[in-house]
Amino acid sequence: MPSKPIIPRVCLRCGSQFLGRATEINRGGAIYCNRECLYAAQRGQARKTLTTYHLFLNMLHGIPDGDACLIWPFARHRQGYGETQHDGKVWLVHRLAWETVNGPIPDDLDILHHCDNPPCFRPSHLFPGNQLDNVHDMISKGRGGKLTDDKVREIRQRFQNGETYSQLLPDYPVSRANLWAIINRKTWKHV
């Protein structure tokens, strides 16, 4: 019998943490920590001091399986990013999500989207990088998807067979510097 996954939640009334069953969360439940909070919320006594930050945590801790984008349902920054308040600060939601999962964002790095969907904050769709990485990431997508183990093997094989960088570059989602690193096994060493 499959066990029921238990997922950390944040009570939308009192803000305390509790555990909810995945089955309940998928039905839209496990929103309040106990009956008292549930009834109080039903009577319209949800504390107004609770912000969308708590809902953010609930969404982040209750991400459904699969690979769909997790879209922020509230305020948007003018560039389309989700926005929320936390700790007296306005946060871009994707940055907050990355920090919540991975810890502080390194200085001078941006949090970028693999999915190119600004309001998405699914942590697996986010990666830290600079604007140059962002440009490379976009160029890569334009050139037919992500690099895979198979493509890396193919690149090295074609290079051994005598093809040049200029012949290889148009076929793969890599920059010239990346191509050099792949061929010289500075990256993708496991392949």
In the complex, which residues of this chain contact Zn ion (CB under 5 A)? 11, 13-14, 33, 37, 69, 115, 117, 120, 122, 125
Give min distance, CB of 86 to Zn ion, in A. 19
Burial class (CB in 10 A: 0-12, 13-18, 19+), 1: exposed
Q: Supply the minimum distance, in Å, between the C-beta of residue 113 and Zn ion.
A: 6
Residues 120/68, Cβ–Cβ less than 8 Å: no
Residue 111 Cβ, how far from Zn ion at the closest point, in Å? 12
> Smallest gap, in angstroms, from Cβ of residue 152 to Zn ion?
25
Q: Which is nearer to Zn ion, 123 or 143 (CB)?
A: 123
Nearer to Zn ion, 66 or 104 (CB): 66
Instruction: State the DSSP string of 40-106.
Output: HHHTT---TT--HHHHHHHHHHTPPSSS---B--S-B-TTS-BEEEETTEEEEHHHHHHHHHH-SPP
Query: Comparing C-alpha atoms, which of 149, 105, 152, 144 is closest to residue 126?
Result: 105
Q: How far is the CB of 177 from Zn ion (least distance, A)?
A: 27
Pick between residue 145 and residue 180 the one whose CB is nearest to Zn ion.
Answer: 145
Q: How many CA atoms lie within 13 A of 94 on its CB side?
A: 27
